[in-house]
Chains A and B, each alone.
Chain A
């Protein structure tokens, strides 16, 4: 999930108010949340953890003892920001080994607190707004699957397009959208009725799907098409196609929780495209000092900082959204793939 608005709202309504209350009782200042950036590194089979305030690498979580054979890829965060889910699979999708799984990482301790099997090469994951379900795109078997976030019980599976890739749950929890690279489609699942509603043709080789803050739109990147398809979620139809250029190779999307902007990682041009969703126009292209081939992208819940996971330079670029510029590059693991922000309410 690249959708920190829900995360921000949940924190405001829940843990943060509790902390505020306690702080008032104790007569102390309100504690600030702190953020941690998680970067899944495909080739070193680990996850780099970065303190977003200092820009320092504070931990590296080994995911498998078989780097080069097993890889972490897509990640998602629980609504309260405290658990990061990561999909783990074998490089060889034919293999159905025990490494096909979803991990739950406690943001405060960086410990893997749960893991459950998700056979079929899970590529990306999403969390339902109530935090009770994790959804996965199972690449090798062309399925979308829902799991109980605590027990790991598989709740449902659906046939989707070939080479399932991206997955997102709408902010109201009603829809699950699952992209498929080889059929160029998005499959829409009614999460309550547990049935496939329709399949939507989008741009060529769709990668990632994200919902807008109000859930009225879904944005789908198309890597070969060089586009972002805009889907009206009331009709599940493509209503606009934003052209980023055929060489852009867009992958992950970060939705700014504080504005109408979305940030799109352009792996082909080593750029981040900033799109104003009120006009569906590119308002900025950030290239200077960017790392090479950004695929992953995440934004802090306060909307102030964007991070990209750069697969060819094995690094993270830090973008200050106020200036729309790269302010720092941080080393990550080999083949930095995806990025996600976890939250420690009240900070450490």
Chain B
């Protein structure tokens, strides 16, 4: 009853909401090429995790093992279907090497060789499935910087969760994300004026001070949001440099409409029996949903949100911040098995269509 009331309130109120889709920048990478961005993000995440664990010798802490597990359980799913279509051997080789890395790490054996192997294969995959002209484009680079800054375990969130949740390995993950962002930024600097570059470099220097080493400080205490302000400011500075809008949630209604289109594409892949490609789409949708829509819908239309969030979690393991907090309180819910992924895909599509309605569409 309460949920319906909230939803009713939302529907009536957002009628008055004037969508603010400002065309201030020339590109909107998360709207124009959501699947390409998501696949690239998956590969960037693998490179981030590899750099992080490569800083430490065997045997690895249990915490660092979690970073390795994420490669096989999550990151690779963001692009493996497309990679398999392009080069099935490379896809199998990559999955095998990831498994080998996990085994070595679990057994406390030297993992550095496997790290190199997985990195090399990932870079080959990157070259194969992301067109070179896209990889060089400022909008693509800026969107990846945003992903590695705002995404789960990225520069801003990684620091917050490392302190707030007392998970030191997330500090190492955030440090590694920062190194990747600096590499990506080095490709963007040619588009910046000296003053713009100086401003971005100042923010990066502040982040370097926060992430002063791959090793988390002991004790890990302080302001959990310390990395957020310079990280957010850096992104605000990068948008005009790249002429690209990288905060995809500015216009939530437009984002929801875009997610419906991506999700429909994913469901078509499932229906055609191509589950890996379908899952790629759900990852692209789940990431943006958790980052930008979950907060509002969880508050104003909790029944719609619950349906969407549960399905995204079941299919991908992606959770929004609110769900993570609840899970912390409940001591980790088991991720449910999905017996019918194609059916789950359609359920998520329906929930997203309802979200568009809630947002005034």
Interface string of A222-249 (1 = CB under 8 A from B): 0011110000000101111101011101
B245 at the interface (CB under 8 A from A): yes
Interface string of A178-195 (1 = CB under 8 A from B): 001011110000000000
Do B225 and A246 touch (CB < 8 A)?
Answer: no
A19 at the interface (CB under 8 A from B): no
* Chain B contacts with A in 143-180, Cβ cutoff 8 A: 163-164
B249 at the interface (CB under 8 A from A): yes
Q: Which of A22-30, A54-62, A144-152, A200-208 is found at the contact surface with chain B? A: A200-208
Do A198 and B13 touch (CB < 8 A)?
Answer: yes
Which residues on the A side are within 8 Å of B9 (C-beta)? 198-199
- In the assembled complex, the Cα of A48 lies from the Cα of B294 at a distance in Å of 39
B25 at the interface (CB under 8 A from A): yes
* Chain B contacts with A in 232-255, Cβ cutoff 8 A: 232-233, 236-237, 239-240, 245, 247, 249-250, 252
Which residues on the A side are within 8 Å of B240 (C-beta)? 247
Q: Pick the contact of A225: B20, B226, B300, B321 (CB < 8 A).
A: B20
- CB-nearest residue of chain B to A224: B247
Which residues on the A side are within 8 Å of B321 (C-beta)? 182
Number of A residues with CB within 8 Å of any CB on chain B: 36
A92 at the interface (CB under 8 A from B): yes
Q: Pick the contact of A238: B16, B224, B225 (CB < 8 A).
A: B16
Q: Whole-angstrom distance from the CB of A141 to the nearest CB of chain B?
A: 12
Do B252 and A92 touch (CB < 8 A)?
Answer: no
- CB-nearest residue of chain A to B226: A91
- In the assembled complex, the Cα of A238 lies from the Cα of B15 at a distance in Å of 10
Do A68 and B222 touch (CB < 8 A)?
Answer: yes
- In the assembled complex, the Cα of A246 lies from the Cα of B248 at a distance in Å of 12
- In the assembled complex, the Cα of A243 lies from the Cα of B24 at a distance in Å of 10
Which residues on the A side are within 8 Å of B25 (C-beta)? 246
A241-B20 contact in complex given A246-B250, A247-B239, C-beta closer than 8 Å: yes
Do B299 and A92 touch (CB < 8 A)?
Answer: no
Which residues on the B side are within 8 Å of A247 (C-beta)? 24, 236-237, 239-240
What residues make up the interface of B, taking CB atoms closer than 8 Å to A?
9-10, 13-14, 16-18, 20, 22, 24-25, 163-164, 221-226, 232-233, 236-237, 239-240, 245, 247, 249-250, 252, 295-296, 298-300, 321-322
The 10 closest A-B pairs by CB, nearest first: A91-B223, A237-B16, A182-B295, A183-B299, A204-B250, A183-B295, A246-B24, A201-B17, A268-B236, A183-B296
Report 15 cross-chain contacts, Cβ distance below 8 Å, ordered by A residue: A68-B223, A91-B224, A92-B163, A224-B249, A225-B20, A226-B22, A237-B13, A238-B16, A238-B18, A241-B18, A245-B24, A246-B239, A246-B250, A247-B240, A293-B233
